Structure 1
Amino acid sequence: MTNLKGRHALVTGGGRGIGRAIASCLVKAGATVTIVGRNPRQLEQAIMQGDAHAAAVADVTDAQKVQSALQEAVSRYGPIDLMIANAGAAASAPFMKSGPEIFRQMLDVNLLGVTNVAQAVLGSMTERGFGRIIAVASTAGLKGYPYVSAYCAAKHAVVGFVRALALETSRTGITVNAVCPGFTDTDLVAESLERIMAKTNRTRDEALNELVKHNPQGRLIDPSEVAAAVLWLCSEGARSVTGQAIVVAGGEI
């Protein structure tokens, strides 16, 4: 069992889906967990159900608000040891209908949402000689999918950022990695299913088959599986693992 007692973790997008599963997993491993998100109700619910210890409301695309959230978290439980940048969003449209605003939106939330929090914690981690920075990317950061060109571009950028920062921090006691899930059983995927059903008149089972066909195991990934990969990267045993994109996708990549 990984023991994270005494570690302070910050998880963005921690109010639901993969982020909440990660927060819960880290709590069970003994870490003190602060979650960050835009929906106060979801954050409070996670705390009430024991999946986090505290929360801060912030939009990760706003660097100043990220800094404020970080200061709030540090004042409560001390410096951040484990930073999991999970917040993200996906937009679907044919490329010829994807204007600059879609690409900008995808880069803002999926890339800047990672770099903003990384910059907010990196100085303190460097001073203390320890840190784990983990970005929840996607298989879309390693391959292409049709009709999500902006999302794929942003997630590829996240993986590139992780590889670069890992080299910059290689002698500091900090590791920087990405976890790349395939289609995962979350609210985000449920919303994608609804869009597929509305646009194609397919049944839910038909729409689901369209997504799981990418996974050789023929299923959606469970959020707890992504959380388990994050937990390992936070452990002492993963101290030599940095600059990696760990795929959780049933053999898709």
Structure 2
Amino acid sequence: MMPGEHKPGPLSGKHALVTGGGRGIGAAIARALLEQGAAVSLLGRNRQTLDAAARELAAVGEVACFAADVADSDAVAAAFAAAARRGTVDILVNNAGQAHSAPFLKTDAQLWREMLSVNLEGTFHCTRAALPGMLEKGWGRVVNIASTAGLTGYAYVSAYCAAKHGVIGLTRALALELATKGVTVNAVCPGYTDTDMVRETVANIVQKTARNPEQARAELTAGNPQKRLIAPEEVAGAVVWLCLPQSSAMNGQAIAVAGGEIM
């Protein structure tokens, strides 16, 4: 397929924007949406990372990149205005996020604000930017990439858990508000996934404890009954399903992709 050529599929004619789309789960989601026929815009802070991802994805479908920090409302507004020149954003995947660990009493105000600004406020800013176009068309899909940390508690990541619980609350409230408008809002909640973020977590455990990398990974996967990390493509599969036209009855859900950790 030549760059820019649309691949026929159930999402043909739809424009999807994926935040944090340059790597990991975001890049896997972008690829899966392209494979279903959508045109995809990638949004992230690092333009070089986005461009590298776009080069890989160009053989699959139509991709464009827009640089912005999701925590900056003005930057988000400008990026969405630029992306809208490709057409209304029909599908928004709020994937951008960060995770830092610290005991609660070592979680200072700066770390607290950082976790909420990226993980929760970024979701708010991007949804606010995308929603008017969806409402005008009477069709839209918002999928928030939360975490199992939005459904349960984990020690030493209180700020991250609070932010992701907030994403779940926002998902449920907005789903009810938009239920008759043709726009659905759902969350996908991955467990520990094989991404750079988890590899950084493993390195952090190794640095701060006497564990080796294998022991650190085993600690992270212990809560997953399948005893493994989730693949980014498995998260992407859940996201794409929620975006399909026939998934219009799925609304306000928080779906755990975690091997049975959360039931």
- Which bracket does the TM-score occupy, shorter chain normalised? over 0.9
Query: Is the Cα–Cα contact under 8 Å of residues 2 and 231 in structure 1 kept in the other structure?
Result: no
Q: Percentage identity across aligned positions? A: 52
Runs (5+) with no aligned partner, structure 1: none
Q: How much has 1:201 moved relative to structure 2? A: 2.4
Matched, 1:63 2:73: yes
Give the 3-state SS of the residue equivalent to 2:237 in structure 1. helix
Q: Deviations over 1:179-221 (max 9, x none)?
A: 0000000000000000000000211100000000010100000
Match of 2:12 among 5, 30, 55: 5
Matched, 1:165 2:181: no
Residue 42 of structure 2 corresponds to: 35
Q: Distance in 1 between matches of 2:173 and 2:237?
A: 24
Q: Distance in 1 between matches of 2:53 and 2:13?
A: 21
Runs (5+) with no aligned partner, structure 2: 1-7
Question: What's the TM-score, normalizing by structure 2?
Answer: 0.94
Query: Is the Cα–Cα contact under 8 Å of residues 112 and 159 in structure 2 kept in the other structure?
Result: yes
Q: How much has 1:2 moved relative to structure 2? A: 6.0
Query: Is the Cα–Cα contact under 8 Å of residues 68 and 76 in structure 2 kept in the other structure?
Result: yes
Query: Residue 9 of structure 1 aligns to which amino acid in structure 2?
Result: A
Query: Is the Cα–Cα contact under 8 Å of residues 21 and 227 in structure 1 kept in the other structure?
Result: yes
Q: Deviations over 1:219-247 (max 9, x none)?
A: 00000000000000000121011110011
Q: How many residues align?
A: 252
Residue 4 of structure 2 corresponds to: none
Alpha-carbon spacing, 1:247–1:2, altered in 2? closer, same or farther (3 Å)? farther
Residue 231 of structure 1 corresponds to: 240
Query: Residue 40 of structure 1 aligns to which amino acid in structure 2?
Result: R
Residue 218 of structure 1 corresponds to: 227
- Structure 1 segments of 4 or more deviating over 3 A? none
Q: How much has 1:152 moved relative to structure 2? A: 0.3
Give the 3-state SS of the residue equivalent to 1:114 in structure 2. helix
Question: What's the TM-score, normalizing by structure 1?
Answer: 0.98
Q: Distance in 1 between matches of 2:104 and 2:94?
A: 27
Give the 3-state SS of the residue equivalent to 2:41 in structure 1. strand
Matched, 1:246 2:255: yes
Match of 1:206 among 203, 215, 221: 215
Query: Residue 101 of structure 1 aligns to which amino acid in structure 2?
Result: Q
Aligned pairs for 1:106-121 (under 5 A) are 106-121=115-130
Residue 92 of structure 1 corresponds to: 101
